[in-house]
């Protein structure tokens, strides 16, 4: 115990001595000296390509400021410690999706002092862009009959070449760059009535493929056929629709002046005939003038006004078509409810009863009128608001076929000349796309025509786009003529050549500004080509005229509905269409119209 105490006292003595030897300053709190420069924890950062982050610590005599960083670097401000003179920044660098490297210099300032911090980042490794095989952007091209060119882009690991090129084709190509070459095939006018075609071999090393180059033939008018269908088309000739007139409707009641047109007069039809039209289609809405079931009695005043207008057209020497027009239901509750009839047989039965009652009364009213008067069952029947049938198309069209048969049966049984007069029936939406679903009704007289409407292409004619041009010399719908010709040719081959009469109950194009030479020229050309093509294939066309003054969408003003005079800019397009229908010779035909398309 004594030994322990002795040792402990010795230790205390040593500690005491050491404490007495220490300097007084060593007892004060240590303070950081004010830095005289900016010090960075690191002066550069090489970020990985995938992106990364570091903490950059900056020592400066005062709170530093940082210059703007590019978008791929984020560097939010930190908290400056005025005792340690330090601030930390969390530097984040985004992924570099480019194959190119990038760098940025960020300047950090504190008073008059500054220091640069540099960020670099490599780009991603470039993928091997060498194609593994040869590909063509198209395998078939068409050159117009008048001559022209078409191109195909070939992508391949090696330079490509073509072979088996006929004499009528010239071939040129661009240099091989970025594994691509463009081959351009050029042909002069094809003066033959036969289409010509060539299969061109394309090769690049061991890779091979082929391109089919076709040139259209010189157009040859189809032969006029001495059958009922062709002759009936010629008899109807160029027709005019008195649209937005007797078909106008307001609050469920049709009215002649509801949509702004004046009342029709004898002068209307006398003027129409004098301008070269041979037929008139008078769209009529009967809604608001039909009584309750089961008689569905048509109001005498409305029926008599229809008869009066038909009489004007008869006196002028015109063929006449009357129909039921906006009685069709387009999701707006009208009585020709196709959707209801398709979905419910009881609704279908009810609608057919009204169809029979309405058409019986109309037919009886006109039973003594001759063959100049034709009756058309409906306008544009659709399922609800479906202009394009998306499903159950056959079922929908079967109901329309039933309705058309009810119409034919009612008219034929109404007595007088109704037994032999011409009748017309449209299909779904009156669209040519659904003609194959339309059946010719059982008609003991065999004088029922099929009907269709054509406003192709929609974006040029009546759609909101109102494009400035159409056809092979324009920039929009450069294949437009071929599309119209293909449609009318198909109708000729499938119907007229088989002696099934058919007519185009509506066609047209919204009026263009006559003071805009470019769009006006193409507008006239469109109307001329469509009418000439219809004449060529024996299809009687009926121009839509709604009397709406002005230019633009749904403006179709040609003939004043009250006076028969031309409307503001109606004269030139009407004369153009009349010529297209009435003049047909070697010097003026579909080919010469095509060849005379506007060029600007």
- The residue extents of the domains of the chain are 39-121, 135-215, 240-466+499-518+543-565
Are both 39-121 and 135-215 of the same fold? yes
Q: CA–CA distance from 560 to each of 267, 271, 372, 565 (Å)? A: 10, 9, 23, 5
Q: Domain 240-466+499-518+543-565 is in which class?
A: alpha beta
Query: 545: which residues sit within 8 A by CB, 6+ positions away?
Result: 240, 241, 242, 243, 508, 556, 557, 558, 559, 561
Taking CB atoms within 8 Å and a gap of at least 24, the contacts of 75-81 are 75/106
Query: 5: which residues sit within 8 A by CB, 6+ positions away?
Result: none
CATH T-level fold of 39-121: Immunoglobulin-like (2.60.40)
Percent helix, strand, coil in the chain, to 5, is 30, 25, 45
pLDDT at 1: 41
pLDDT at 527: 98
What is the per-residue burial (b if ≥16 Cβ within 10 Å, else e) of 332-342?
Answer: eebbbbbbbbb
- For residue 491, report the phi and psi dihedrals to the nearest 5 degrees: -65, -40
The structure's pTM equals: 0.73
Q: Are 326 and 320 in contact (CB under 8 A)?
A: no
Distance (Å, rounded) from C-alpha 145 to C-alpha 188?
8
Strand (E) or helix (H) holding 115: strand 113-121
Strand (E) or helix (H) holding 518: helix 517-536
First and final C-alpha spacing in the chain: 125
Distance (Å, rounded) from C-alpha 488 to C-alpha 480?
13
Residue 386 burial class via C-beta count within 10 angstroms: exposed 0-12, middle 13-18, buried 19 and up: middle
Active site residues: 380, 506
Residue 30 burial class via C-beta count within 10 angstroms: exposed 0-12, middle 13-18, buried 19 and up: exposed
pLDDT at 411: 98
| Count of Cβ atoms closer than 10 Å to residue 155 Cβ | 16
Q: Report which of 552, 540, 432 is spatially closest to residue 483, judged by C-alpha positions.
A: 432
pLDDT in tens, the chain (600 residues): 444 333 333 433 333 333 333 444 444 445 689 999 999 999 999 999 999 999 999 999 999 999 999 999 999 988 999 999 999 999 999 999 998 999 999 999 999 999 999 999 999 887 778 999 999 999 999 998 889 999 999 999 999 999 999 999 999 999 999 999 999 999 999 999 899 999 999 999 999 999 999 998 888 888 788 999 999 999 999 999 999 999 999 999 999 999 999 999 999 999 999 999 999 999 999 999 999 999 999 999 999 999 999 999 999 999 999 999 999 999 999 999 999 999 999 999 999 999 999 999 999 999 999 999 999 999 999 999 999 998 999 999 999 999 999 999 999 999 999 999 999 999 999 999 999 999 999 999 999 999 999 999 999 999 999 999 999 999 999 989 999 999 999 999 999 999 999 999 999 999 999 999 999 999 999 999 999 999 999 999 999 999 999 999 999 999 999 999 999 999 999 999 999 999 988 899 999 999 999 999
Q: Superfamily for 135-215?
A: Immunoglobulins (2.60.40.10)
Residue 591 burial class via C-beta count within 10 angstroms: exposed 0-12, middle 13-18, buried 19 and up: middle
Outline where DSSP puts E strands in 349-414. 373-376
């Amino acid at each position: 115990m004594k030994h322990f105490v002795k040792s402990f006292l010795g230790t205390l003595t040593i500690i005491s001595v050491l404490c007495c030897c220490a300097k007084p300053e060593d007892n004060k709190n240590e303070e950081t000296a004010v830095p005289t420069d900016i010090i960075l924890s690191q002066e550069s950062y090489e970020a990985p390509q995938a992106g990364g982050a570091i903490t950059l610590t900056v020592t400066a005599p005062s709170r530093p400021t940082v210059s703007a960083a590019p978008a791929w670097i984020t560097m939010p401000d930190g908290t400056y410690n005025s005792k340690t003179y330090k601030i930390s920044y969390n530097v984040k660098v985004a992924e570099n999706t480019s194959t190119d490297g990038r760098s940025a210099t960020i300047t950090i300032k504190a008073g008059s002092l500054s220091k640069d911090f540099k960020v670099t980042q490599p780009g991603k490794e470039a993928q091997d862009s060498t194609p593994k095989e040869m590909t063509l952007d198209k395998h078939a091209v068409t050159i117009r009959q008048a001559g022209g060119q078409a191109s195909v882009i070939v992508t391949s690991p090696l330079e490509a070449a073509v072979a088996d090129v006929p004499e009528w084709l010239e071939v040129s190509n661009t240099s091989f760059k970025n594994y691509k070459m463009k081959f351009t095939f050029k042909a002069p006018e094809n003066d033959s009535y036969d289409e010509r075609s060539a299969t061109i071999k394309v090769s690049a090393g061991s890779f091979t493929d082929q391109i089919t180059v076709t040139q259209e033939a010189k157009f040859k008018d189809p032969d006029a056929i001495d059958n009922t269908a062709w002759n009936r088309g010629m008899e109807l000739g160029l027709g005019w629709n008195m649209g937005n007139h007797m078909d106008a409707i307001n609050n469920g009641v049709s009215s002649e002046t509801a949509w702004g047109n004046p009342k029709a007069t004898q002068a209307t039809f006398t003027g129409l005939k004098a301008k070269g039209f041979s037929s008139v289609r008078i769209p009529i809405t009967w809604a608001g003038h039909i009584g309750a079931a089961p008689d569905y009695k048509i109001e005498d005043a409305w029926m008599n006004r229809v008869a009066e207008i038909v009489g004007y057209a008869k006196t002028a020497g015109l063929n006449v078509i009357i129909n039921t027009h906006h009685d069709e239901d387009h999701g707006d509750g009208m009585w020709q409810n196709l959707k209801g009839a398709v979905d419910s047989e009881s609704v279908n039965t009810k609608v057919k009863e009204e169809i029979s009652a309405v058409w019986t009364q109309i037919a009886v009213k006109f039973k003594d009128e001759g063959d100049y008067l034709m009756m058309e069952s409906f306008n544009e029947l659709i399922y609800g608001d479906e202009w394009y049938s998306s499903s159950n198309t056959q079922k929908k069209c079967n109901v329309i076929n039933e309705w058309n048969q009810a119409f034919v049966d009612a008219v034929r049984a109404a007595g007088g000349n109704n037994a032999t007069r011409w009748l017309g029936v449209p299909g779904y939406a009156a669209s040519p796309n659904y003609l194959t679903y339309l059946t010719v009704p059982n008609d003991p007289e065999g004088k029922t025509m099929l009907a269709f409407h054509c406003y192709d292409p929609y974006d040029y004619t009546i759609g909101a786009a109102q494009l400035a041009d159409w056809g092979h010399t324009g920039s929009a719908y450069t294949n437009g003529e071929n599309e119209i010709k293909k449609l009318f040719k198909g109708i000729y081959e499938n119907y007229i050549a088989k002696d099934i009469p058919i007519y185009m109950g509506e066609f047209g194009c919204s009026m263009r500004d006559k003071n805009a030479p470019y769009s006006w020229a193409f507008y006239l050309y469109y109307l001329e080509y469509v009418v000439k093509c219809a004449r060529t294939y024996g299809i009687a066309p009926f121009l839509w005229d709604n009397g709406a003054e002005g230019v633009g969408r749904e403006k179709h003003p040609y003939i004043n509905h009250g006076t028969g005079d031309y409307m503001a800019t109606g004269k030139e397009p009407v004369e153009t269409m009349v010529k297209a229908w009435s003049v047909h010779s070697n010097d003026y035909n579909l080919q010469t119209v095509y060849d005379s398309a506007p060029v600007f």
